[in-house]
Structure 1
Amino acid sequence: MFTIDDLADRLGGYLPSDEIQQVKRAFYYAEQAHDGQRRRSGEPYVTHPLAVANILANMHMDHQSLMSAMLHDVIEDTGVSKEALAEQFGKPVAELVDGVSKLTQITFEDKAVAQAENFQKMVLAMSRDIRVIIVKLADRLHNMRTLGALRPEKKRRIARETLEIYARIASRLGINTIRVELEDLSFQALHPMRAERIKRAVSSARGHRRSAIRQIQNALQQSLDDEQLSGTVIGRQKHLLSIYKKMRDQRKPFAEIMDVFGFRIITEDVDSCYRILGVVHNLYKPVPGRFKDYIAIPKANGYQSLHTTLFGSGGMPIEVQIRTREMEAMANNGIAAHWLYKAGQTDHPIAEGSHARAREWVKGLLEMQRHAGDSLEFIEHVKNDLFPDDIYVFTPRGDIMELPQGATVIDFAYAVHTDIGNNCIACRIDRHLAPLSTRLESGQTLEIITAPGAKPNLAWLNFVVTAKARSAIRHALKHQQHTEAVQLGRRMLNKALSEFETSLEELPEHVLPQVLDDLSLKQEDSLLEAIGLGTRVAYVVARHLVDALHGDKADDSPRSLQPHGPIVISGAEGMVIKFARCCHPLPGDPVIGHLSVGKGIVVHRTECRNLDELKSDPDKLLALEWSADIDEDFPVALRLEIESRRGLVAELASLVTDADANIERIGIEERDVRLSIVHLTLAVHNRVHLARIIKRIRNLPQVGKITRVGN
């Protein structure tokens, strides 16, 4: 059984004796605090924190992280407070323990919500000290190693959560050793029979291929020695989940997956990496298009290496990775390598860069958290962000930006800065104008064109792929809707107050706070937004304000709930005034507004049939009129009966374009051999513009009946 003395001996290799003594003191404290507690497996509970500390010792983590590992369950599982820990071991350790402690389970209707809430708390703790997540990953790894004592359904739930969140975080932070083991343990818990069969097949295949592997390894090593290049060639093993995913996704049998031989060459410096690449390409022919240089362009988690695939003897593929010792440490320990080098009191640019990237990633998570509507939306963003296949594009200044596969111009704009994303209107890719929805490819240079008054478009959510872009767009749209609802609410309330010969600006200062208090609202904007979104009726609020002004002695004579005079609309109000799709109102049409709860005003033509059922609640209907100054296009639907003739649709399109209108949608259905029905949706300025277009279309002899849809 592994003991604290065994751990102390291992720590002697990289920690000073006074820090080792502090780690031992934390262990004895935890042993006393957990006295009498046992794990599901029956072992004393303190074996768990000791094992977690041992995992961190493998990564050469600092003494404060090891102390936190020893104490990470003390706050929740025993009566010890955070303050008591701070007094005993110092504030940094107490803060770490508080961040890592199994987060207090709040009672939720849904377990998914509870897990999402807990993950949000963990992100906040990570933002204060990134070591929190490293200790948490070690904690999860030991829990996965000891899943055996749990019920099958609980095993599967924990394994799924580990695969979806913790293994991906380990990957994002570059901690490859923990990622691989978490993935394999999760796979074995989720699919025990498949894992066992693959494990047996791997063991058998390895035995059969031993001589071939040795032969290739010797050939590679001999080539390095001949060129007097320092490098060690080692065989690289595929892990279970990686084999399973390749078999499933590429639909290949096990034999084809295992036919690929993998080797890693570890050398001393970057210059040697490129020289060794030349040697292996001289020994075996490279496979075209299968070379990747992650040294010049590192992955987001700091991973650096040269990857190449070669044709071995008999056409057998050989995958070779070439890297320095520092890059190897970085690949295995990721951000933890930052402390590995700190332990020796020497900074290293690779480890420092990894630490800076990790802090940048956590900063991005915090921004997402602020923008997300709730914890479940946040965790979905995080899942999408954690495991992308990367592409690399350039800013006009030559800076490299990393984005997931399938990212668009909008994703790039938000990756540069949220304000650039919010205000972007166009883009140049390699100096040529391109649509904002364009999917990006590695090596492109992008220049974003912005305008101060520009706003995000709801349609962007249909094609963006990064979590940052998605959450920032949603946040901006919510803010935009709030602003527009407040402006509309102010207009509606002032219109209602005008019937009482006053306005919001003319009311004494004490009136509004009194009414807000009566309505259990804190701010004026909340009241105006509720009116603009249709959850409160403007006239009722106006009456309330007037009653407060006169001390409930306002004129009680019955009045219409509608203020005198219609509200003027221009079509440019944004998200809180919408135009009904059932009747497509145009400037010049008589219109009426319906207050739809949560949406604002929906504008209908007065002859729209759908108004019949809406008239049952007259308080929600508003008189509207069009502004004299409108500079917008509006959709309108037409139904045409035409005689079928080749080229007629092209002629129709030409007529519409010549009349300064756009065709938004066109559909054709055959009624019989001779007649067809054409459904046209046009974008026009107003009713007069539409009449002019219809007159032109009528001049075509093949066009029979023309109907405006929505009467």
Structure 2
Amino acid sequence: MTEKFEFTQSELDETREIMSHLRETIGDTLKSDDEDKIKKHLKKAIYDNQIQRDVFGLNPILHALRTAQIAVDEIGLKRDGVLATLLYTLVVNNYSTIEDMQDKFGESVAHVIRGLVRIQDLYKRNPIIESDNFRNLLISFSEDMRVILIMIADRVNLMRQIRDTNAVNEKHQVSEEASYLYAPLAHKLGLYKLKSELEDLSLKYLEHDAYYMIKESLNATKAARDAYIKRFVSPINEKLTSSGLKYHLKSRTKSIHSIWQKMKKQKCGFDGIYDLFAIRIIVDTPIEKEKMQCWQVYSIITDMYQPNPKRLRDWLSVPKSNGYESLHITVLGPENKWVEIQIRTERMDEIAEHGLAAHWRYKGVKSEGGIDDWLANIRAALENNDDLQLMDQFRMDLYEDEVYVFTPKGDLLKFPKGATILDFAYYIHSNIGNTCVGGKINSKVVSFREVLHSGDTVEVLTQSNQKPKRDWLNIVKSSKAKAKIRLALKETQAKEGLYAKELIERRFKNKKIEIEESVMSHVIKKMGYKENSDFYKDIADEKLDPNVVIDKYIKTRDHDQNLNAAKSTESAENFAFENPNEELAYKNDDVLVIDRDLKGIDYKLAQCCHPIYGDDIFGFVTVTGGITIHRKSCPNAPELRKRFGYRIVNAKWSGKGSNQYIITLRVIGNDDIGIVSNITNIISKQDKLTMRSINIDSHDGLFSGNLVLMIEDTGKLNSLIKKLKTVKGVKQIIRI
């Protein structure tokens, strides 16, 4: 039987104290019967044994009150946020419904509770919290800005309470989430105090020895540090005051977490961190004199203390992208100690302290990205003492551009809006996409056309006999999936074309008919096909009977032969030379003419240089009597000519290039996101071109890779190279 929940005396005392504080702080926003309804609701839940202590042994009602106090005092939430904080666990535990909360406390409270409940559901899926995708999904699920703020307050509260808990594993998990998820969110919102507290407490629980070593070192040096700061700033005060500048000074010590991060980065001990504290000089000046007076302060200080030029950071001339403006210098103070000084104006300090929202107020500049805009708007509302009722103007549709979905293992993937199961399948692997027949969304079987929504858990169903179809290009939304489908279709078409060609050749051979390519081309055109590939595809798909093709071929061949019957000989005087200005290529030498119909000569294309139709070529007579065709630019050509000049045969191409030849292109460029996809997209769109393989290697920001292609002639090759050079990031393309 579940143990009956009861308050301890100290918990009752703290509960009354917090209730009194909340009543004084936000009493003007509460309705007259709010407090009575909450007490009645919670007492009934306790009586029905619906309230239980959590894994840390914490009182959930007192915990909610502490969270509400943080949300009110340090964030600025009012009535709706507080009521939602106190009541949402009852909905999560299925004791109350959102509809019940709406009836008793209004739509706004119910709306916040709904967002908190959705976040709890999200956590049950055990996501990988370290990913940026989870942060974005978490924000999109919340629906209301106050949900994020309550979650941050709740995590700060929890981190404060679990210091002495025996639940070590749970404490470790909570601390990791505080560090990876909640501290960055608090920082983005400008809640810097809460952010530092979350970071320090997470370090305290996760790396106990490091935390206390730094804390004890800071305590041991505090008195000496304060005395040193006083000695350091005293002459600066005199000089700045005598110069007539209006200013004030601040000093701050780095947080324990910041010191630890710096120790790890610099691989040094506590004594190796020389900038444990910084002096901030804040000048009160009109905006038009800001730079002048900041540099005046710089001049005064560097006249007194030696600066370190390597540590000068000038964010006055060129502010940071987030709007931060300041002048950072490090000078050698008394006792040869380095001291960091930050010089800025009141306006700059406001932006530095309050983040994006303050920057907007001064500059009217908005950050890029919907989520950042949304978060920064929350901060603006808080700083303007907004009652947060105008949330609709700050909310944004996070589904406008992208959706976030889970894999069955809990990984989060991002897709464009409208993406389908098929996009998901191709993201996982090309073979998974090519054989996809459907999927499961949240364990429900659906078609691969089903559109994904944020928060879905997606699984792919495949069958080995499935093949990509052309209409799949209209189903997918991501460019990655489209490129993979085009490539698969091209490879399938090439395989089907070879199969169909072999089938036709067998049928012709059975009927003892020799295929003449010129006649076959004539047949294909007469049958209404613009491309040979379409003709062979119809044969492969059994839409076209090979026997019909044979009949057409015989008729066309006989007709052509009749047309080409012998005619009376015509004098050569009636003909003019087609290219009178063209110099004969080989003068008196014999020339081997390479044509697709060449018979009786045993020749092959060299593997060292892979010549293709259109290349300048020569033949090399091998010891077996055959001829190997090389490019004139072949790396082996000089040696062959030098040692075996008597075996060199002049050669040239004849007819039109219709066969496909293998070539290799080496591509070198910047290692940018999407560059490989852009390259394969261009290749997949080329007609009569097949990509055999691609091998990419990246190093130090550059990538190099080999593309092995099947191509008809140098004209198509030059056209392809020209298009590939237009891809952003591609520096060089070499045929090897």
Q: What's the TM-score, normalizing by structure 2?
A: 0.48
Structure of higher CA gyration radius? 2
